[in-house]
Structure 1
């Protein structure tokens, strides 16, 4: 078989970029129809920013596949298409404040009585994020539904709480649609069967959430400095979901030396793993310690492994869970078997039930897991540096050991992996 030359690959990528730019320029023309609507010029500027960036990397021969994958032009196109169907539109990209946090509503119509959010992501990608298989800091559609629902209550129009509509232009799973409807949200879009398998081809790397954290492949500084000092005497370890995933991942159990990946996030993690093997770091820290986790962490871990884990990752997950002591979310140190000596380091923990506000990088699942660790007086092992930083900014210091993030990769090795030449 004749391989595809690098020149041909670059030409194909260049053609894709040219098409994307042409697509974006047509969107600019389409906005003219709505130029009198509040926020339309802001939307136009956002599209121009996307075009300016694509033209720049194309001109400088710096174009990469992820530049096209991360483009928000698809979302903007979906927004404009929906805009053509609404009545009495008041504004687009309208920002409301909720406890000093920005909530961006794509379309405010019916004179302010209806808020519409447009979701152009692939439905499998939406499901993946809801299952927790995403970079920390990226909020799921359920998280955003909670924010929309709460924010609308504080922004009445004509003495009425605005109606909220989520439009999924590529469809949505039955489970997620049903969950959204419990928040009083009207869900539009094709209802799909539950999406148990996630193929990287179906993952849309673009992000329609203005406040979402961008993936950074270059900056690793500051991870280790987040770990709490002087915890060697603490014999209890509380495992976060991210720690369990890293421990069981194929990439931390030998495949990093065998495979590279086409997917940017997995490619970067494999490169990191070859430099800093995380399984050894975790095993060294676990030595002579008893491993715990709360029920929430166990349930989420099992769901993720079942959804995206490969055969060997499932076996390792089962073996790891057999080593763990699983306790209820509200357990405390009296539920543990060790003769607990109150360690001075826990005097610095400032947690109370209402110290941290859920939102942004403070997600309820993470708050439950980290709080559990402090209650049983264990060191929480996690890759969730975003949560730890956000908690510190609010004056709460958890007792933690931070490691680098690793995703489950075994399924991707079948289709998206590139064997490393020996």
Structure 2
């Protein structure tokens, strides 16, 4: 390997490291794993800088580039695990990305191999072929509980031999797949380390030959989200005033329509309902901050600091404005246990205006029975993974619906198990007695 090849490979590693640091939708653990792999590759290449003896170039650079390229796509969300084997009953299986696509959990396998060296059965060197690897991954997926995907996505960055592509379709029912964005577009990187005023635009690679297929898991559990849970209560359509932000958010929501379209639904937990009706979100923030500290301590007791912090947050970023963007055109749904908890909280701590807003809000939501998904029920119940939260988020999961929540601790705890769960975070707000 010449010095030029080593330097080019090192630049590719540096480009990948820059991209990893900017990745959205990944946990801190995923960032650490990717950075560790990229830095390890860079260190290996640096060790070759003064060694001019012929050596093969490490194949890990291209694989990392492809993984990061997929993670950059806006359709890839809820990434909970990357480039690590999954510890499952009966053994471990390597999966490159565990994430959410179109509200459904998926596993993504990435290959950067030259198509000439991708064999269907046993390779010429006695290694396992693609067929055996897929069979192992599918068996693991079907036996998994909390990490069980709805499908397996196979991404071949450099393409596939025609006969292998045909075998995937005929033997595993694989379907052509796209991520909602043309992956064949040339991937660019911007080197910001140049002198001020100049940016170096580097073409890192093209995926013009890439092939992506999806293998769906087709047993009865996969159709769970599409079999309507029992006891759906249709919302009452009401005339809402446009006089305030709260009424505007409700009137912008979808109050009727085809409930089986998961892209048109948002699942509310209790924190989201409270934030919508809270006096802090509905015009009381400035008044709270202008109230003497002593009066606030009498009114809110030990929660005074939290209420003040939320009021300051509200003046900087309106929760209703934030939620209005998320909820516009969407059908709001809520499970029965959330309704019960919300009503109890409002009756105990809500003021007359908050109670009125709560009544209006509940009339605009589709109420469904508590029906947590099997994978959520399979998670151990702990202090961080409380049963009531498993029911709420799990019901949303069974409908393949994103949950709107301020409960970041539960979302983190789920991600730490390796499960991919779609959520939308919002700032917390408390009831004020308004």
Q: TM-score, normalised by structure 2?
A: 0.36
Q: TM-score, normalised by structure 1?
A: 0.37
